[in-house]
A and B are shown apart, each in its own frame.
Chain A
Amino acid sequence: MSHSESYDIAVVGAGHAGCEAALAAARLGMKTVMFTVSVDSIALMPCNPNIGGTSKGHLVRELDALGGEMGRNIDKTFLQSKMLNASKGPAVHSLRAQADKQAYTREMRRTLENTPNLSIRQAEVAHIDTADGRVCGVRTVSGAVYECRAVILCTGTYLKARCIYGDVETHTGPNGLMAANHLSEALRELGITLMRFKTGTPARVDGRTLDYDKMEEQFGDVPIVPFSFDTDPGSIQREQVSCWLTYTNQATHDIIRANLDRSPLFSGVIEGTGPRYCPSIEDKVVRFSDKDRHQLFLEPEGAYTNEMYIGGMSSSLPEDVQEAMIHTVPGMEHAHIVRNAYAIEYDLIDPRQLRPTLEFRKIRGLYGAGQINGSSGYEEAAVQGLMAGINAARSLKGMESVVLDRSQAYIGVLIDDLVTKENHEPYRMMTSRAEYRLLLRQDNADLRLTDIGHEIGLISDERYERFCRKRELIEAEIERVNHSYVGLRPEVQELLESFGSTPLVSGIALCELIRRPELGYEKLAPIDKGRPDLPADVREQVEISVKYDGYIKRQMIQVEQFKKLESRRLPEDIDYSRVLSLRKEATQKLELYRPVSIGQASRISGVSPADISMLLVYLEKYEKESQNRHEQD
């Protein structure tokens, strides 16, 4: 007789998606079990040793405002922190922190183990049990049965994983961990379509064998800005560890070119599609042959180890070639490799089978989150885990689902792109993917999403009150600035002059002065008599809101237009073949994606504006008809 236990929600996988999904589910009161092939690999960072970066930093901030864990966890465990794009506009500022990988794993595990309702189980899930199109349990390879009402798949790159460098090939997951070889077949049996992607990671070298004198030191920022809105900035100002910059050169490229035939990428051994934003070094050399050098960043893997990650040099070339090319790089002439670079291929599901809640359309209670959905990156995975966890819990409680749209959050952009667009490579978040990026800043993620996080139940009342106080201060100060007038006082003219700004000829609103390119909220402090003493984060919001008011208003008008189409819901049972005059391609695409709104339909490639017009007219007709039916009843 085999073992059997009963849960509300089972989470398959304990990476960044799995951790957030399990925490959200358990914190929302669901009896939750999280499966992993190795308890020691919880919240593992098998590739780059950092969290955040352009647009990914936004994702972490948003996750934090909704009550996720990643932001708090990296605040506890970072080695270095930097605000990227700090010299550019506020919309593209992005926080990135170098992580101590082991500390990150350990802290996340501690949090998981101390969360009520949450159990961790080391086992490989091999089968999903369903009844009447609903999930009812999972079975492990050993035959143990875990009854549950919802399953969240967060298998990362482990499904039928294969690691390759040169002609060496192992059927393992990242870092030599066990691959999950049974689940793919089980998913196919459920009628789920699978695809195959590839990605890669660079070699790690022994820090003691590097010559840092030949590299440029990359320092962290002072002061350090925390990821989590919940972290007191004062509590994390600590000593930072540096990264190091060096470059490839002609000799490196010569070695790569001479050995291209030994690269499994070019010889066709790897069939999966690789990511364009994170190309292997051989890819960069071939595709951008006009560049005579490429940047390499040496980043520490943790405070506990000498290992250094060679950012920019992911590869699947054979061991001897890796060694030779590394030794051509200044500062790495005598580098000793600890782990080889490798490419990894894995199974994923076609994310177009998912609703925007990340639940499979065909199977109720089954969700996907993270790399199994075709994304790439720890942060992209984490936010999906959070949203899947929230929606699985709410669905079991009979509550309305939470779907963020493209005007609310990068999370909304990410998930909408995944379920609406055709993806041929692992999907990475980019600021250019967000249409309303001026509104979706990392500095205002709390203002955008804390209400929602609180309503969901993942933001405590205490934190929410603190947030509301901040919001009130911001609103009051903007109001004051908009209605304060600055007269022709000598100290005003003096200050303007000192910033090279045209002197006043008559009184002017304070907000107008703030908007002058050479001035700003902070710079005008000396002449602003009635200014209250405000915390830095409040002052920052006032400055941005006033300064970029024109652009912000324009985007808000665009958002209004966008919302109109988003709010036109398409009926679940719509039969597109009955919508006359739709082009065949559009009919097929609409049948395949089954968009939830006119807005989503308009973003599907192959659906033209004319098709959308047809749909609008059809919808009108449909609604009138069902209205008529009601009246007759």
Chain B
Amino acid sequence: MNSASDTIAAIASGLAPSGIGVIRISGPEAFRAADEVMRFSGGRSAAASDGHTFLYGTACDEDGSEIDEAIVLIMRAPHSYTGEDTAELQCHGGPYVMRRLLMRVLSCGVRLAEPGEFTKRAFLSGRMDLSQAEAVMQLIEAENESARRAAVSSLRGDLGRRVSAVRAGLLYETAYLEAALDDPEHISLEGYGSRLEETVKGAQSEIEDLLRMSDEGRVFAEGIRTVILGRPNAGKSTLLNLFSGYERAIVTGIPGTTRDILEEKVRLGELLLILTDTAGLRETSDEVEGIGVRRAYDAAEGADLIIYVVDGSLPPSAEDAEMLKKAGERPVILLLNKADEALAAPACDYEAALGRSPIVFSAKEGTGRSELEEKIREMFFREEIFEGGSLTVANSRQKEALISCRASLENVLNAIREGMPEDLYTVDLVDAYTILGMITGESVSDDLINEIFSRFCMGK
């Protein structure tokens, strides 16, 4: 948790392209930060201006290069939305400029606002009455949820994977250090400094790499992880082959032919699907097939979207309903396959049995394909499904975290170089670990203690 006395900033206008963009800075350092970022004519400054006035100037980077022209609105406490000193930078907008400007503001000792934090401060400073308190809570909840979703989606994507790998390395080293400090008679730190230096340098260059990529405005998107599920012989592999345009999977009439996971990247207009075929879901005594079934469920767990294929030549079954339930809470599209043969029951019967309306489909002949594609697109733009790992909503937050992580790692290296005692390394290692957790949406809790016990043989 953060104290209410520091200064925070965020883009207050949303990141969608628009005519004008607003960055709000609130807290005791708001005017100082605005003066640091802005160049005003005639020696004027935000700090010296009255409340409810505005200044015109140019926002500049640390090296003096111009970012954008901006108007700065000055609001003095308590006459602002938050009840604190507030400066609002209005500029020409555009996601790239807005982000660059925000990063510049954050480089002035200002912290990125938590979801709903402006509103929370408004309430806490008495700017809102009691009846609005519940609305504030709901707002925090909603914004937290969207931040959480963004974190979760980045966790599954490329960024998440790379950050998690760095994190795991840092946790291991911290646990080793701590285990040695707690049990010096069993675990030695002889020559440890140089080993740690190597790990930290590796972590640092990875962080640098990620920062460079975000500077270039590259998106870490890798596509919508789409997993095809269904009972054996429902036509899952035929579906994969239909999309990939060639015989990617072996298709036979024998149930249980696909025993492992097959993956294929498929372009759907502007969207990229990573289509995964899985083994048919059934109770099986065949060991190899059993492993395939387990993998299918694992794949479903990490999916952004599930396409569940039902064999329309068979009547609706409780088994399908059961499997669908097991597939978890991910977004699901239901396909009623084998429409080329006679359906065993009307589509509405399947809908009643399986709880969602199916798309009537023939993987063999391609019937229903455009409907399916339309459905996926619709769900994506309604944000019912997320692209794994896309670096969108939480961009500035993630970048801020990467920057402070880099600083913590630098502190570790300094401590090693200066020959500080080993126990001081962990101060910054744990900081770096915690900060990276903000990107992946994981909290620290008892990670360290558990890692110590699981990795190192401790004790008497």
Contacts and interface: CB of A to CB of B under 8 A. Distances in A.
A589 to B, nearest CB: 13
A89 B178 CA distance: 13
Interface in B121-136: 123-124, 130, 133-134, 136
Contact of B182 (A421, A431, A581, A614): A431
A92 to B, nearest CB: 5
B427 A554 contact: yes
A614 B141 contact: yes
B140 interface: yes
Interface string A603-633: 0010011101110111011001100000000
A614 B184 contact: no
A91 B423 contact: yes
Interface string A588-613: 00000000001000100100111011
Contacts of B136: 617
B140 A613 contact: yes
A58 B130 CA distance: 47
B459 A561 contact: no
A291 interface: yes
A517 B184 contact: no
Interface string A518-529: 100000000000
Interface stretch (A277-285, A349-357, A363-371, A569-577): A277-285
B137 A92 contact: no
Contacts, number: 134
Nearest to B174: A432
Contacts of A612: 1
Interface in B413-460: 418-424, 426-427, 443, 445-446, 448-449, 452-453, 457-460
B420 A84 contact: no
B291 to A, nearest CB: 25
B449 A433 contact: yes
Contacts of A294: 457
B124 A620 contact: yes
A620 B114 CA distance: 19
Interface in A546-579: 548, 551, 554-555, 561, 564-565
A617 B120 contact: yes
A609 B181 contact: no
B138 interface: yes
Interface in A243-290: 276-279, 284, 287-288
Interface in A280-331: 284, 287-288, 291, 294-295, 297, 311-312, 314
B144 interface: yes
A168 to B, nearest CB: 23
Nearest to A89: B421
A88 B116 CA distance: 44
Contacts of B445: 605
A54 B457 contact: no
Nearest to A291: B457
B409 to A, nearest CB: 16
A48 B458 CA distance: 15
Contacts of A433: 449
Contacts of B422: 88-89
B133 A311 contact: no
Contacts of B183: 54
A38 to B, nearest CB: 26
Contacts of A88: 181, 184, 189, 421-423
Given A580-B134, A581-B141, A312 B181 contact: no
B457 A284 contact: yes
B3 interface: yes
Best-buried of B181, B427, B452 by chain A (most CB within 10 Å): B181
A447 interface: no
A617 B117 CA distance: 11
A438 B182 contact: no
Nearest to A583: B141
B186 interface: yes
B178 A624 contact: no
Nearest to B144: A610
B1 A438 contact: no
Which size class do A's interface residues fall under? 35 or more
A564 B3 contact: yes
Interface string B187-225: 001000000000000000000000000000000000000
B185 interface: yes
Nearest to A428: B459
B449 A430 contact: yes
A85 interface: yes
A278 B460 contact: yes
Given A88-B181, A517-B420, A564-B3, A276 B144 contact: no
A36 interface: no
A431 B446 contact: no
A55 interface: yes
A609 B182 CA distance: 30
A223 B418 CA distance: 29
Best-buried of B123, B138, B452, B459 by chain A (most CB within 10 Å): B459
A314 B459 CA distance: 10
Nearest to A314: B460
A273 to B, nearest CB: 13
Given A84-B184, A277-B453, A278-B460, A581 B138 contact: yes
A295 B1 contact: no
A437 interface: yes
Nearest to B126: A624
Given A287-B457, A430-B182, A602 B140 contact: no
A613 B120 contact: yes
A341 to B, nearest CB: 12
B186 A295 contact: yes
Best-buried of B123, B124, B184, B419 by chain A (most CB within 10 Å): B184
Interface string A78-111: 0000001100111110000000000000000000
Best-buried of B114, B448, B453 by chain A (most CB within 10 Å): B453
A432 B424 contact: no
Best-buried of A89, A561, A598 by chain B (most CB within 10 Å): A89
Nearest to A432: B178
A473 to B, nearest CB: 25
Contacts of B423: 88-89, 91-92, 431, 437
Interface in A464-515: none
Given A277-B453, A314-B460, A438-B427, A610 B140 contact: yes
A582 to B, nearest CB: 9
B459 A278 contact: yes
Interface string B122-162: 01100000100110111011001000000000000000000
Nearest to A288: B457
A505 to B, nearest CB: 20
A92 B180 CA distance: 11
A616 B116 CA distance: 13
Nearest to B123: A617
A497 B418 CA distance: 17
Contacts of B2: 561
Contacts of A625: 130
Among all A-B residue pairs, the 6 with the closest Cβ atoms: A89-B421, A432-B178, A276-B453, A610-B144, A89-B423, A288-B457
7 contacts: A89-B424, A431-B182, A432-B448, A581-B141, A617-B120, A617-B133, A625-B130
Interface of B: 1-3, 114, 116, 120, 123-124, 130, 133-134, 136-138, 140-141, 144, 178, 181-186, 189, 418-424, 426-427, 443, 445-446, 448-449, 452-453, 457-460
Given A277-B458, A430-B182, A605-B445, 20 more contacts: A85-B184, A89-B423, A91-B424, A277-B453, A278-B459, A291-B457, A295-B185, A430-B452, A431-B181, A438-B424, A518-B419, A561-B3, A580-B134, A605-B446, A613-B140, A617-B124, A620-B124, A621-B130, A621-B133, A624-B130
Interface of A: 48, 54-55, 84-85, 88-92, 276-279, 284, 287-288, 291, 294-295, 297, 311-312, 314, 421, 430-433, 437-438, 517-518, 548, 551, 554-555, 561, 564-565, 580-581, 598, 602, 605, 608-610, 612-614, 616-618, 620-621, 624-625
